[in-house]
Structure 1
Amino acid sequence: MSRPFRLMIARRSAEALLKDEGITTLPVDPFALAASRDITIEGKPETHDGVSGMLLRHGNSFGIIYATHIASEGFQRFSVSHELGHYFLEGHIDQLLQTGVHVSHAGFVTADPYELEADHFAAGLLMPETPFRKELENHEPGLATVDALAARCITSRTATAIRYAELSRAAIAVVVSTGGVIDYCFMSDAMKTLPKLLWLRKGTRLPAGTATARLADAPDQVRAGAAVAEEADVRDWLGGTTKAAVSEESVGLGGYGKILTVLSSDVIGREEEDEAEADEDDLIERWTLRFR
């Protein structure tokens, strides 16, 4: 089974769980869900850092310990949801809890397949597709939408931005970087329509001359949560052969030392979308005539 398919299954498993629980609105409370399974939850002392959380097992009893050294309710809720992913996803308990304790690094920061599956479970749990799409359609593409969705779902900016890129019909690219070096990049399907696309890889430098690169050169501003915005040529970021303007919006993520960048366009991918809608309309018309 391919990795993308396994990650999709993880997200869908979370959404199926919500359906079984009768949960259809935002925000979703992972603490209440854990309590419904008699899973004990405790915050780890603030002086202890390095991990996002732990899942513990003693006999048939389970517990979750989550990090509190990061003062973000969204991150803490995501960490608890990540541990619930290990609890609910098939094979995780048998593989990860052989010693009774599993230490996690949530937040899309590792390539470990079990951690990634738990991350995507958490995203599906806290930001289920149907209500999330409904909410995002009330906003214009860009960083402001990420902030609005994060407030609605009580999730971190980064986790929300990643889910936004996954589900948005607009052309969106989300880039997280540290010290001028890219940590990861997620793109919407519309953005992926760019021909000869250049995939931003982990460990590569930010494109020189961009507003984000200039912000990265001022770490004090990054830690202060400074924000920058300007129009950019999509080729400067993603290469390809299509000249198109994108909105480049970046914000420092405080003590993390990271920058969240959102690239957005309401033009890229629109032609393919219009052609698909035209083909669908043509198909409907032809079949309608046939049955008339």
Structure 2
Amino acid sequence: MSDPTTPAAWANQFASLWMVCGQGFPVDVKEIALEVTKTRFSDPVGLVRAHGIQGIDGILSKRKRGDWCISYDETITVPGRINFTLGHEFGHYLLHRKIREEGFQCGQAEMLDYESPESRKFESEANKFASYLLMPATDFRSQIEGQVVTLDLLGHCANRYGTSFTATALKWVELTDQPALLAMARDGFICWSYPSRRARLLRTYLPPGTPVPQSSLRRLNSAADINRRNQGSRVPPGVWHPELEAEEFVIISDHFDLAIFLVRFPYAGMVEQAEEKDWDAFTFFENRAQG
């Protein structure tokens, strides 16, 4: 079997193998890494274990015996974070171990820092691999097809795939045919935003440093508004788009002090789509960082 050349192709190969074998979700990254690599590669993953180092989510390291070890921070309490970390480090193993033999040490800063020129390519590719392995596009579409997004729907998908809310929401925006925007914010300013395919045509992208709308900050900071946050709130034009009303969900992020804003534009009507190449979330961030 020839080796794939892209993160998505690698992930699709392993995800297909997992499903063909009749396995359910979530995908067991540890089992795949240990069992498949020992029969396929001369330098397999020989050990997957907790490393006991807080602040370092995952490590890929080469052992003296010539095989590789994937280790993770077992103290992480956010549901799905460990699973995604294992997928991320396995992606480094498949894609990058021959390029950087000293291995990788990854925290959330590396996994989310799409602007860093030093780590942008490797981290983006490892994230893409983990996303496609844990949340195969065909199965994910079957879960969301014909449904309006709600936090309950995203929670269902996060539970099914064993992924964090952030990774699941990003995957939904990547695959949905609805105009929608996912924005990550810290201290009242946008860190990054990712529009869906239809939303890009509406020019909904918000560059880093854009202030978060004041009404959204008030909803985020109002503990009494928790039920409304979960249900979503209709907001007028001029908040998230100059001309379009929107429906806004505010999600407390599972990464540090960040907040997620998931914004739908259900009143935009049908948008005529020109031919454009395929995009996915992590390619979008990599290309955007390159200008």
Please classify the TM superposition score into its range, dividing by the shorter chain length: 0.7 to 0.9
TM-score (norm 2): 0.76
Equivalence map 1:16-165=2 (5 Å):
16-21=13-18, 22=20, 26-36=25-35, 37-38=37-38, 39=45, 40-45=47-52, 48-58=53-63, 59-89=65-95, 92-97=96-101, 99=102, 101-106=103-108, 107-111=111-115, 112-137=120-145, 139-165=147-173
> Which letter does structure 2 place at the counterpart of 1:32?
E
Write the distance in 2 (CA, Å) between the matches of 1:54 and 1:264: 36
2:234 maps to 231
Q: Percent identity between the aligned chains?
A: 23
Out of 171, 190, 193, the position equivalent to 2:201 is: 193
1:10 maps to 7
Write the distance in 2 (CA, Å) between the matches of 1:84 and 1:184: 25
Equivalence map 1:260-275=2 (5 Å):
260-268=260-268, 270-272=270-272
* Stretch deviating more after TM superposition (257-266 or 115-124): 257-266
Structure 1: tracts of 5 or more residues without a match: 1-7, 277-292
Change beyond 3 A, Cα 1:190–1:143: farther
SS at structure 2 position matched to 1:54: strand
Structure 2: tracts of 5 or more residues without a match: 39-44, 276-291
Where in structure 1 do 4 or more consecutive aligned residues deviate above 6 Å? none
Change beyond 3 A, Cα 1:11–1:233: farther
Write the distance in 1 (CA, Å) between the matches of 2:218 and 2:271: 33
Q: Is the 8 A contact 1:173 1:185 kept in 2?
A: yes
Write the distance in 2 (CA, Å) between the matches of 1:83 and 1:95: 14
Change beyond 3 A, Cα 1:230–1:14: same
Write the distance in 1 (CA, Å) between the matches of 2:128 and 2:14: 14
Write the distance in 2 (CA, Å) between the matches of 1:76 and 1:227: 30
Deviation at 1:68? 2.7
SS at structure 1 position matched to 2:124: helix
Change beyond 3 A, Cα 1:56–1:247: same
> Which letter does structure 1 place at the counterpart of 2:256?
Y
1:45-93: CA deviation from partner (whole Å, max 9, x where unpaired): 2xx333221001125311111123320230100000000101112xx11
Q: In the alignment, does 2:201 pair up with 1:204?
A: no
Write the distance in 2 (CA, Å) between the matches of 1:248 and 1:94: 44
Q: Is the 8 A contact 1:185 1:201 kept in 2?
A: yes
Write the distance in 1 (CA, Å) between the matches of 2:121 and 2:161: 25
Structure with greater Cα Rg? 1
Equivalence map 1:169-188=2 (5 Å):
169-188=177-196
2:285 maps to none
Write the distance in 2 (CA, Å) between the matches of 1:109 and 1:69: 22
Deviation at 1:141? 2.1
Q: In the alignment, does 2:261 pair up with 1:258?
A: no
Write the distance in 1 (CA, Å) between the matches of 2:237 and 2:136: 30
Write the distance in 1 (CA, Å) between the matches of 2:155 and 2:21: 23
SS at structure 1 position matched to 2:262: strand
> Which letter does structure 1 place at the counterpart of 2:56?
V
TM-score (norm 1): 0.76
Note the aligned Cα RMSD (angstroms).
Answer: 2.9
